[in-house]
Structure 1
Amino acid sequence: MPLELHPLQEADLPAYDEIIHEAFRGDIGDLLYPNGYTPADRTHSLTRALQKWRQHPQTVQKTKVIDTALPDTDPLNKIISVADWNFHPQERSEAELDAADEEGQDAGFPPSANIPFMKHFFGLLSENKRRILGGKPHILLHILVTHPRHHRRGVGAMQLEWGVAEARRLGVPVYLESSPMGRPLYERFGFETVGWLELDAREWGLDHDLPHALMLRPADAETVVGEAVG
């Protein structure tokens, strides 16, 4: 099989950013960047991602799936999927949680971003995660995306197998937010829907809802994997 999972490298960050942008194009991407995702936005995002990664190398773990059958000239270095995991294997105090929130806010916003929406959206994500988990040990699956050209190849399942194995090793739950499209895959890996993000996308200009399921895989859950479709 030509698909392989590896740790992401710093040199992969431009491809990582491009795949995320392609995956979120339309809907949430349009709300975040209503005037388009500019080179200045990309520079800000890459700088922030690298800074956080270097500041917290034990917390931030990034993985990639490559397709070895792609040509060496592939502009994304043969990367077809990326995932961003945040490891918190130890209990954290309220003060530590506050400090982490403040650090995220200190990074500022990309120049073309819809700042009110970003504050609202990411604020909701943070509030719900804190409500559900508090300072308990866990792994956060912050991002898992596959380039749209490579859907339905089992790529998401490869990423999840790695993360679930790490969660088992540490004896901690895994938390994530999922779109309806990704929810069946997560359920096959033992994730349970514990709530929904209260985001009114129509209030921000869309003509339809953008439901996000808040999902938790308990530390002692058994993994039941069906046919992979990631």
Structure 2
Amino acid sequence: MAYHMDVKPVSEVDLPRCMEILIPSFEFMSISEILHGLNALSDREALSKLHWQTIQEHLARYPQGGAVGIKCVDVDQVTGNETIIGYAEWFIYPQPRTLDECLKPLGFMQPLRTADNDKHNSIRDYFRPSIETRADVMGTRPYGLLVWLCVDPSFRRRGAASKLVRWGMDQCTKLAIPAYLEASHEGKKLYESLGWQVLQHPRVQDIGYPIMMWWPNES
């Protein structure tokens, strides 16, 4: 049976399936359950609403950056049916921002459940090193930020992750701006194969993951 993969912006109705992939992919995070809940329907739906709101807020402020939530679909070329097999979120900042804007947490950086509202500090403390280091490295300049990248385990090693990363790289190329991410140790090899470079920074130990950048003129 013939299949091919395609990358498209997500719609609101796509997000529960995307969260079904994202939640288990990031269970290694110490704040995973506070941030994402469990991989149950009610939590997936609640998380979808939170991410959709974050996406819409970014698009309203930075429309030139293009889509934020991106899905990779496996398309049955016989029936045309699409299966979402991967998901990424690219927050692209096409214009300079103030330092306060650069240090502001993204909308999804809050407890998923109201019962966990007393754990806001845990989330802030978790993300603070990443946000502050990013602001230190990038300053207020325009750039693209890859935040989430995940692929259904049943469809890995077929190129879906590369397609999702390249989508954002192409957007950055059009805008002539660099791209930035904090890599998981598993994802580092993928990013390096696409031309990303590891940056050295005193706070890498605080973040716990490699900092990587990519420049349009170097691939």
In 2, the alpha carbon distance for the partners of 1:43 and 1:134 equals 35
**Which runs of structure 1 show a deviation greater than 3 angstroms over 4 or more consecutive aligned residues?**
38-44, 69-72, 112-117
Separation of aligned partners in 2, 1:165 and 1:36:
33
Q: Which runs of 5+ in 1 are unaligned?
A: 201-210, 223-230
- Tell me, yes or no, if structure 1 residue 143 matches structure 2 residue 140: no
Cα deviation, 1:29-55, whole Å, max 9, x if unaligned, reads x54227962666444422221212222
Aligned residue for 2:186? 181
Q: Which residue of 1 aligns with 2:211?
A: 214
- Separation of aligned partners in 2, 1:137 and 1:89: 5
SS in 2 for 1:56: helix
- Retained in 1: the 8 A contact 2:54–2:107? no
Q: SS where residue 213 of structure 2 aligns?
A: strand
Q: TM-score, normalised by structure 2?
A: 0.80
**Matches of residues 53-92 of structure 1 in structure 2 within 5 Å?**
53-57=55-59, 58=63, 61-69=68-76, 78-92=83-97
CA distance in 1, matches of 2:5, 2:187: 20
Conserved 8 A contact 1:3-1:67: yes
The offset of 1:218, in angstroms, is 2.2
Q: Is the 8 A contact 2:198 2:210 kept in 1?
A: yes
Q: Percent identity?
A: 24
Q: Rate the CA distance shift 1:79–1:138 in 2: closer, same or farther, 3 A.
A: same
CA RMSD of aligned residues (A): 2.9
Q: Quickly say closer, same or farther: Cα 1:156–1:121, change in 2 above 3 A.
A: same
Q: Tell me how far apart the structure 1 counterparts of residues 123 and 41 of structure 2 sit (CA, whole Å).
A: 19
- TM-score (norm: length of structure 1): 0.76
For residues 110-145 of structure 1, the C-alpha deviation after alignment (integer angstroms, 9 at most, x for no partner) is 226665542222112211111111111100011111
Structure 1 counterpart of 2:13, from 11, 14, 18: 11
Count of aligned pairs: 204
What stretches of structure 2 of length at least 5 have no aligned partner?
A: none
Deviations 1:88-124 (A, max 9, x none): 01111224335x44x748x742226665542222112
Q: CA–CA distance in 2 between the matches of 1:80 and 1:187?
A: 22
Cα offset, 1:71, TM superposition: 11
Which SS does the other structure have where 1:96 is aligned? helix
